[in-house]
Structure 1
Amino acid sequence: MAMGAPRMNGTAHPLSAIAGHCNAEADEGSMVVVASKDDKHAAEEMSASMQQRLVESSTASTGVDEEDTDAVEMAARMQRRLDVLPGRPHESEPFTIFRVAGPMRDRNRHLYEPQMVSIGPFHRGAAHLRAIEEHKWRYLRDLLSRSSGDGAATLASYTEAARVLEPRARRHYTEPTGHLSARDFVEMLLLDGCFIIEFFLKGEDRASDALIDAAWAMQNVSNDLLLLENQLPFFVLECFYGLATGGLGRDHLVTNLLAKYLTVETPQDAATAKPPDGEIHHILHLYYHWFLPTEDVAPAADNNQEAEDKAFDEWLAKPMDERVPWLLPSASDLKDAGVTFRAKKSPRSLVDVTFRPGDGVLEIPAVESYTNRAAFANLLAYEQSRGRWELQRLMSYVVLMASVVRNGRRDVEILQRAGVFVKGDEETAAFYAHLGELLGGAATAWGPAHDDYYTDLFRDVREHCGRSWNRHRAVLAHDYFSNPWTTMSAAAAVLLLVLTVVQTVYTVLPYYHS
């Protein structure tokens, strides 16, 4: 019979789409097919199979469309986020203000968090710092009153300057500052920047002020201004100082105002202090520049893959004891190996440690005058934030001191007798040891020791300790010449030995003579 609408046991076939297609083919003059019962059964099975395939195909097609739609929407959202990022691809961000991370911060939060005044966005709004916020408004009023006349800077001038600097200032913080609106961020720059300028101006004027006159408050504010997490970009301070003084620039701010306060406990003299070459990042960067004056050192390797691979290969080719140059023996072990400790006279800086291989003298600057541990810890944190290709002078010094005093009291006594620790401060030794432990992972992470400040010194010390004669001489000096009584005993023993030899010679000579 002719195939019109296929029937199964007298009922219409469910695949109407296929039926329509078949009807269309029939209208076009296709041949008539006569099917038996077996043929009808086979056709029914084939139709069911085709129906299942179409359903599966339709379901899969719908799922793909939905996934494609979700992917397009997600890509659009992510693209909007990418479009608002500052800078350009492959352009390094100008990050200069970091939050201290890792074990350095976890065990020493009091060294890195402000105790009295917050500067910048990281600690803004902290409960224990709210008392000083009112003083910031008072200091802003005092700074505005310093200038008068037609050309004087007004509050609107400061506000407009802060508004212009806001996008640039945001890019200097490593953590997002999106929680602060543009208005809030501008207000923060204005209040914090003017507070810093007025704080130092009041100190220069020796004006009567409750905050300045209280010694504990003055010290706490000064400490908080040297914390890495508590900084403003220096160009903000420079701009506000120019408005307050009628156009005086960066050099005048640095040499005539800040040098009087930031050169305390540094080898740099305030009268001869100069700003560093290039950009000043913030107040802590300026303090680091004067705390560790620039020295004539070999230029650091270029930050490229070829130089890094070459340095790493050279590091791998060294013996194990040279791969880890920070493993200097303790003071007691060095003394047993013939090394003599002395306090260095007129050091260029705290890290000016030298070793004389000829006589085995290790000279270390005395550390009793430097007691501001919070500033020291933040100087160290700032140095590590500069990048792996920068010379790590302070980190090298901390690791050296930590290794020298690792045995505790005995090592402290040796350095005390040498004048390095004038007070024999075990707490200071523990501070170095603690920082050394925290830096252990960071030190090994540097890999090649090309950035270690004491590479040559460590090599000379190891060579000196490796000579057996130096060790024997040290044992001799320790056992027989450590005090006048043992020296007299040793001299008497030597004299007795000489007399015995002479007596023996005179006893034997007559026998050979006869």
Structure 2
Amino acid sequence: MADILSDFSSVDIHDGSVGKDAVEAGNLAATEHIKGMVSAANTNSETGTPPQAPPPPLLTEHPLLPFPTITSTARKAKPLPRQRWSIFRVPDHIREVDRIAYTPRFISIGPFHYKAPALKAVEGRKLRFLNRMLERISHQNEITQEGLKDAMKKLEGNTRECYSEEFENIKSDEFVTMMVLDGCFVVELLRLSGMSYKKELADDPIFATRSLPQNLGRDLLMLENQLPLFVLQKLFELTSSGKEETSLESLALQFFEPLRLGKEAIENLNVEKNMLYPHLLALFHSSFEPTNPHPPPTPIQNSSTSTHTYRTFSGKGWVYSAKSLSHAGVKFGTKPGNVLDMKFNDEDNVLQIPTLFVDDNTSPVLRNLLVYEQYDRWASPYFSSLAVFLNNLVVTLDDMVILKQSGIIRAHCGDAELVNFLYSLTKDLAFDMDDCHFGKIIQDIRGFYQTKTVKFRLFRRRTLKRIYKRIVPILMNITIIYVTTMISVYYNKP
């Protein structure tokens, strides 16, 4: 009993900072664990075997890292417009985690996958959409295919500047033709989807299927598969019949609605008229802007430990795992709406996280949102924050079970595959906790975890567990000795 009491007296009820040695130990454990997981994932991808659950971490719980001091100007409320170098090729070291997430499978838009052999079958459909569009507006609009090319020719220079590569192999006339065909296909597809969204007849084979609209939408949300939005806007204006009331942005958000991570309907389709989004992926990203943005964490005053070293660490150590929080008294629940609108109620200790649906579309959509944030520093890192937060919550399969039972994650795959999926989201992720969208929630959870009530609850749990481990074997030994003695006495009676 003395060692148990000494264990309770040694519990550190601190103010959020930890010692340097503890932090280094936690970082080392987290780093080695993640390296082992990545190595196992790469081996699985080479051998074709299904992903296995990662081994448990070296520590039962990683020591928390010092939370960074947040300045009032550290976070931007909204993304700033940016045109030049807004469309990038995904680097190989990111692509290797999930190659199909970044490569279109049905339609090529823009120069990165121009004339890709696997996508040639759709080129005829692009021309059909262009002719259909021109025929539809022929009575109200005198624009011709040559007129569209002349308009795109004026935008060619600005369009090329939006890409991170020169594409000198694509001559000017060919590039302009590509802009017309690809842009008109996207514009006409969105117009048809608007009719389908309003339960009207969209007279095209694409909308006679259940899967093709979503498959095309998934391809149109890939970073490498983008045309600048100003190109689409110009084509939308030039091919207008004069009867359209819905904006191009609203049509796009309606079309992408089935691909939203929470499967929720977009309640407000009003987009900022003065905001010139770089491309459709950026527009889709902006639609997740939280209805009630979280305030930044309270600055830590007079902190004795410098946090500059750790704030760019995107691994574990910022918040305890779901199992540990559950033991501390945190209850997990879900709420409808945007996946970014999570909430921690410190009065009843409930962490509410909107449901994240994991299906075949989740990985491509989420990974392209993440890579967009990585390669556009003006984009708010909403999904980078979500990836880091979930990666901290899930350490073992037990944590995943808690999130699934509470309705936070819904999926048709196994727990081990889900754990590996969350780990892979933060691989090579450049992140700064100064910009963490959930910084205030993390700070509130950490504060709750360090209260005396929670410390005593955890101490009591550890004590009972220790007593159970010591008493039960003793009772079992006594029972065995007693039974053995009674049997011996019974059979040795004279």
Query: Shorter chain as normaliser: what TM range?
Result: 0.5 to 0.7
What is the CA-CA distance between 1:362 and the residue it aligns to?
A: 2.3
What is the CA-CA distance between 1:355 and the residue it aligns to?
A: 2.5
Is 1:419 paired with 2:407?
A: yes
SS across alignment from 2:369:
helix
2:226 pairs with one of 210, 224, 231 = 231
The answer for the alignment partner of 1:364 in structure 2 is: 353
**Which AA in structure 1 matches 2:442?**
F
Deviations 1:13-57 (A, max 9, x none): xxxxxxxxxxxxxxxxxxxxxxxxxxxxxxxxxxxxxxxxxxxxx
The answer for the alignment partner of 1:275 in structure 2 is: 271
The answer for the alignment partner of 2:258 in structure 1 is: 264
SS across alignment from 1:220:
helix
Provide the TM-score with structure 1 as the length reference: 0.64
Is 1:472 paired with 2:456?
A: yes
SS across alignment from 1:317:
coil
SS across alignment from 1:245:
coil
1:240 pairs with one of 232, 235, 244 = 235
Return closer, same or farther for 1:474/1:194 CA change in 2, 3 Å cut-off.
same
Aligned residues of 2:149 and 2:180 also touching (Cα < 8 A): yes
Provide the TM-score with structure 2 as the length reference: 0.66
Return closer, same or farther for 1:345/1:132 CA change in 2, 3 Å cut-off.
same
The answer for the alignment partner of 2:438 in structure 1 is: 454
Deviations 1:478-499 (A, max 9, x none): 9989xxxx9xxxxxxxxxxxxx
Tell me the percent identity.
28
Larger Rg, first or second structure (1 or 2):
1
**Count of matched residue pairs:** 370
What is the CA-CA distance between 1:162 and the residue it aligns to?
A: 1.2
Deviations 1:311-356 (A, max 9, x none): 9x999733977775852222222223x1423223234x21223333
**Which AA in structure 1 matches 2:203?**
S
The answer for the alignment partner of 2:137 in structure 1 is: 147
Gaps of 5+ in 2: 1-81, 196-200, 469-494
Aligned residues of 2:391 and 2:423 also touching (Cα < 8 A): yes
What is the CA-CA distance between 1:297 and the residue it aligns to?
A: 6.1
Deviations 1:122-181 (A, max 9, x none): 011111111111111111111111112474211121111111111111111111121111
2:162 pairs with one of 168, 172, 186 = 172
**RMSD (Å), alpha carbons:** 3.5
Alignment of 1:185-264 (within 5 A): 185-205=175-195, 206-246=201-241, 252-255=247-250, 257-264=251-258
**Which AA in structure 2 matches 1:350?**
V
Alignment of 1:114-125 (within 5 A): 114-125=104-115
Alignment of 1:62-77 (within 5 A): none
Return closer, same or farther for 1:99/1:248 CA change in 2, 3 Å cut-off.
farther
What is the CA-CA distance between 1:271 and the residue it aligns to?
A: 6.3
Return closer, same or farther for 1:144/1:93 CA change in 2, 3 Å cut-off.
closer
SS across alignment from 2:351:
strand
What is the CA-CA distance between 1:395 and the residue it aligns to?
A: 0.3
Aligned residues of 2:358 and 2:409 also touching (Cα < 8 A): no
**Which AA in structure 2 matches 1:415?**
L
Aligned residues of 2:331 and 2:350 also touching (Cα < 8 A): yes
The answer for the alignment partner of 2:390 in structure 1 is: 401
For residues 464 and 298 of structure 1, what CA distance do their matches in structure 2 show? Answer: 18
The answer to which structure has the higher helix fraction is 1
Return closer, same or farther for 1:227/1:323 CA change in 2, 3 Å cut-off.
closer
Return closer, same or farther for 1:343/1:366 CA change in 2, 3 Å cut-off.
farther
Alignment of 1:288-299 (within 5 A): 288-293=285-290, 295-296=292-293
Return closer, same or farther for 1:171/1:297 CA change in 2, 3 Å cut-off.
farther
Return closer, same or farther for 1:435/1:422 CA change in 2, 3 Å cut-off.
closer
Aligned residues of 2:355 and 2:408 also touching (Cα < 8 A): yes
For residues 161 and 303 of structure 2, what CA distance do their matches in structure 1 show? Answer: 37
Aligned residues of 1:144 and 1:244 also touching (Cα < 8 A): yes
2:282 pairs with one of 269, 280, 285 = 285
For residues 164 and 311 of structure 2, what CA distance do their matches in structure 1 show? Answer: 35
Return closer, same or farther for 1:435/1:199 CA change in 2, 3 Å cut-off.
same
For residues 354 and 438 of structure 2, what CA distance do their matches in structure 1 show? Answer: 15
Aligned residues of 2:292 and 2:341 also touching (Cα < 8 A): no
SS across alignment from 2:352:
strand
SS across alignment from 1:368:
strand
The answer for the alignment partner of 1:334 in structure 2 is: 325
**Which AA in structure 1 matches 2:226?**
Q
